[in-house]
Amino acid sequence: MQKRNLGSSGIQVSIVGLGTVKFGRNQGVKYPCAFELPSDQDVEELLAVAAGLGINLLDTAPAYGASEERLGKSLRGRRHEWVICTKAGEEFIDGQSSYDFSPHALTHSVERSMRRLQTDYLDVVLVHSNGDDMRIIEQDQAFDTLEMLKRAGKIRAYGMSTKTIDGGLKTVEFADVAMVTFNPSCVEDREVIASAHRKQKGIFIKKAFASGHASKDPGGNLRFVFAESGVTSVIIGTINPAHLRENVESCKVVGSIP
């Protein structure tokens, strides 16, 4: 599978990343169908399929239930083969999300993620925005905290999973990578993608299939996304190996993967 530079971070990622929210959380999610959490064997098998397809990017978060712990267990001894992107700022406990973007909370979250993932560094850490992107950046100074952690060698790159255009533009101005929503029915962040391309910053795409609500034509959606030259990688969240294979095959059909 083709790999692309994550901006100027020095990190190379596959153009398809595996989203792992379903590894650890099935409450308070916006997927069209209910699902059971996978077994440990299911997780191992899906990761093997992903690796076989050439995927090296995994997306997780503390708010994804036990996802980080399960990845840490499954990747033991193979951590160097993967680029791990996690998040900080959101907690999901007893069915409710809470947010804290203070320096103490972000630092604690990063260090806890390292323990859960059984690693001494994180490749990418994204602020898990509650929607108030600009306040998080300008008042909470979240990027200052992550920059200090980067200088300390705990993370290699950082940014934000954004929810506003202004937040996305500010992220690609001051950080390494932005994660934005982009699909045929949601194009507001096209300006952010273009700005990232000009500034040589990374772009991860979330909700390319609108959280499963627009998955009837995966090839069409992926063709649409990869038409934007600033896109680094699309995150596909699934626990179904066949679904993952189909989406990677769709990328081949549209010429995104040689």
Helices 218-226, 241-253: crossing angle, 10 deg rounding: 50
Cβ contact 205:223 at 8 Å: no
Q: Strand runs (DSSP E) across the chain, as ranges? A: 3-5, 12-14, 16-19, 57-59, 83-88, 90-93, 96-99, 122-128, 155-161, 177-181, 202-206, 233-237
Please confirm, yes or no, whether 64 is among the known catalytic residues: yes
Cβ contact 83:228 at 8 Å: no
Nearest CA to 236 out of 245, 228, 227 is that of 245
Domain 3-253 has CATH 2.40.30.10: no
Check residue 257 and give its pLDDT: 60
Cβ contact 158:147 at 8 Å: yes
Check residue 213 and give its pLDDT: 44
Check residue 217 and give its pLDDT: 72
Per-position pLDDT tens, the chain of length 258: 999 999 999 999 999 999 999 999 888 777 777 788 999 999 999 999 999 999 999 999 999 999 999 999 999 999 999 999 999 999 999 889 999 999 999 999 999 999 999 999 999 999 999 999 999 999 999 999 999 999 999 999 999 999 999 999 999 999 999 999 999 999 999 999 999 999 999 999 999 987 554 456 778 889 999 999 999 999 999 999 999 999 898 877 666 565
Annotated active-site residue in 31, 64, 99, 158: 64
Tell me the pTM: 0.94
CA 137 to chain centre: 19
Q: Is 89 left (phi over 0), alpha (psi -120 to 50) or beta?
A: left
The domains of the chain are located at: 3-253
